[in-house]
Chain A
Amino acid sequence: MAEVRDGEVEKLGVLFERHHQPLFNFFVRLTGHREFSDDLVQEVFFRMLKYRHTFQPENQFRSWMFQIARNAHFDASRKRQREARLNSPVSGEEMVAPEPTPDQRAGRQQEIRLLQRALARLPLEKREVLLLSRVQELKYNEVAEILGCDPGTVKVRVHRALKELRDIFRELTGEKRYEV
């Protein structure tokens, strides 16, 4: 990224190859919309070019990328929300679970679908912290850098979010709610 910043913008192609799929996955799980996520991925890479001067060599590229990703998602969903308010009463922050593909219908696929639905019910901040730390497999201090808080706070948030997700998932699968 340092080379991109110093004017070799074509090097961004390498970064796109390496990171666009994880980024797309992050957005799909955050929003539940594939098309919207595709647009967001493009937006993130465009912002990387536009704001390439803000990249510091001591930054982790992935942290920087997810910072941009969060901002892009925030801006885009606020825009969608404004538009949604005009068109339908559905709030833009709510996530819709992705439509199941045919092979997701059977067996273990059912479980994945339920997990996606459970994720969709989680508030945005909790969904986000779980996606970053578990699905993207970032270290807690990297997540802390992205969210702009300290690692201790991230751990507390992960813990709470995970408990809530577990409870929702249990509810969906019909298990009895586990009392702690």
Chain B
Amino acid sequence: MKCEQVREEFPDYLGGEISTPARARIDGHLAGCAACREELNSLSAIWARLGSLPEEEPSPTSEARFHAMLEAYRQGMKQANRDSSPRVTLADWLAALWPRQPALQFAVAVLFFAAGLLLGPALLQRQQYKTVTVGTNDRALVQLREEVSSMRQLVTLALLQQPSASERLRGVNWSYQIEQPDREVLSALLRALDSDPNVNVRLAAVDALHLFASDAMVRRGLLRSLAEQKSPLVQIELINLMVELKEKESVPVLRELSQKQELNPAVRQRAEWGLQKLG
């Protein structure tokens, strides 16, 4: 056995991880080789010294620190379990459904795409069919819409009663957002048209009532207002509106206006123009 081979076995020899025949072989070589004996002695001395290094004591706070950390971790785990266990299980469940193999993933994607192509047109047809019948969701939507609408009516009414003209103006503008205002709102608007001290509010009311002119009550109110209105600006605006609505019933009122000598000349002219248009 060569020295080199023997020395390669030294770690096993020192570590005690050596078979009896191998140990006997090495001992045999060492007996006849002073150099190897010397090498092993020096290595074994340092090996022994390494093994007898004194034990170091960890700091006394080490254990307390560990237990504090463990307790904090346990609390954190409990918290996490409470907070997220249903979410985690759902995620796990979904993840379990998803195939791991890329080829299968691709197949699933293709399958969904094909299903989309096939089912898409069919679903579309059904949807058109469905618009006739009102489903549960649609009912809820209708209900929601009604609620929003009644809220808007409340806002309109509240604003129309404000002492400030600009607030009342906002009230009139709010009424634009109501799809089908109820009696209360319509009469409030008509009241504003008849008797609001501010001319801008009355003009805005004309515009707002224009939107709801299909209502019989609004038409009657507009006609009455045309006869009684004092402001020339509002009168002209109302005449324009009558013409636009092609309101035949306004003809007697317009005739009366066109013959009133004390009336503003511009209003009289506009009334005559209205008569021509409707006549």
Interface readout for B52-67 with A: 1 if CB under 8 Å, 0 if not?
Answer: 0111111101110111
Query: Which B residues touch A169, using CB under 8 A?
Result: 46, 49
- Closest Cβ of chain B: how far from A33's Cβ, in Å? 11
Give A28 to B58 CA distance when docked, in angstroms. Answer: 9
Chain B residues within 8 Å of chain A by Cβ, number: 37
Q: Nearest CB to that of A22 among chain B residues?
A: B55
- Of residues 1 through 44 on chain A, the ones whose CB sits less than 8 Å from some CB of chain B are 9-10, 12-13, 16, 20-21, 24-25, 28-29, 34-35, 37-38, 41-42
Question: Is B74 interfacial (CB-CB < 8 Å)?
Answer: yes
CB of A134 within 8 A of CB of B66, answer: no
CB of B8 within 8 A of CB of A159, answer: yes
For the complex, would chain A's binding face be called helix, strand, loop or mixed by DSSP majority?
A: helix
Give A13 to B35 CA distance when docked, in angstroms. Answer: 51
Q: Nearest CB to that of B61 among chain A residues?
A: A38
- Closest Cβ of chain B: how far from A126's Cβ, in Å? 12
Question: Is A46 interfacial (CB-CB < 8 Å)?
Answer: yes
Contact of B51 among A41, A135, A158 (CB under 8 A): A135
CB of B56 within 8 A of CB of A49, answer: no
Question: Is A111 interfacial (CB-CB < 8 Å)?
Answer: yes
CB of A34 within 8 A of CB of B59, answer: yes
Question: Is B247 interfacial (CB-CB < 8 Å)?
Answer: no
- Closest Cβ of chain B: how far from A3's Cβ, in Å? 14
- Contact status of A155 and B12, CB under 8 A, knowing A38-B62, A42-B62, A162-B47: yes
Query: Which A residues touch B77, using CB under 8 A?
Result: 9
For the complex, would chain B's binding face be called helix, strand, loop or mixed by DSSP majority?
A: helix
Q: Nearest CB to that of B52 among chain A residues?
A: A112
CB of B11 within 8 A of CB of A34, answer: no
Question: Is B50 interfacial (CB-CB < 8 Å)?
Answer: yes
CB of A115 within 8 A of CB of B74, answer: no
Give A28 to B66 CA distance when docked, in angstroms. Answer: 18
- Of residues 26 through 82 on chain A, the ones whose CB sits less than 8 Å from some CB of chain B are 28-29, 34-35, 37-38, 41-42, 45-46, 49
- Closest Cβ of chain B: how far from A44's Cβ, in Å? 10
- Contact status of A38 and B58, CB under 8 A, knowing A29-B53, A130-B50, A162-B43: yes
Query: Which A residues touch B49, using CB under 8 A?
Result: 111-112, 115, 169
- Contact status of A42 and B50, CB under 8 A, knowing A28-B56, A163-B43: no
- Contact status of A24 and B70, CB under 8 A, knowing A42-B62, A166-B46: no
Q: Nearest CB to that of B48 among chain A residues?
A: A134
Give A120 to B35 CA distance when docked, in angstroms. Answer: 28
CB within 8 Å: A-B pair count? 106
Give A116 to B43 CA distance when docked, in angstroms. Answer: 16
CB of A24 within 8 A of CB of B46, answer: no
Query: Which B residues touch A130, using CB under 8 A?
Result: 50
Q: Nearest CB to that of A46 among chain B residues?
A: B69
Query: Which B residues touch A178, using CB under 8 A?
Result: 38, 42
Query: Which B residues touch A115, using CB under 8 A?
Result: 46, 49-50, 53
16 extra A-B contacts, CB within 8 A, seeds A9-B77, A133-B15: A9-B70, A21-B57, A29-B56, A45-B66, A45-B69, A49-B70, A116-B53, A139-B17, A140-B17, A159-B8, A162-B14, A162-B43, A163-B43, A166-B42, A178-B42, A180-B35
Can you list 9 residue pairs at the A/B interface with Cβ under 8 Å? Answer: A20-B66, A21-B55, A25-B56, A29-B56, A116-B53, A139-B15, A155-B8, A166-B45, A166-B46
Q: Which residues of A contact B (CB under 8 A)?
A: 9-10, 12-13, 16, 20-21, 24-25, 28-29, 34-35, 37-38, 41-42, 45-46, 49, 111-112, 115-116, 130, 133-135, 137, 139-140, 155-156, 158-159, 162-163, 165-166, 169, 178, 180
Q: Which residues of B contact A (CB under 8 A)?
A: 7-8, 10-12, 14-15, 17, 35, 38-39, 42-43, 45-47, 49-51, 53-59, 61-63, 65-67, 69-70, 73-74, 77
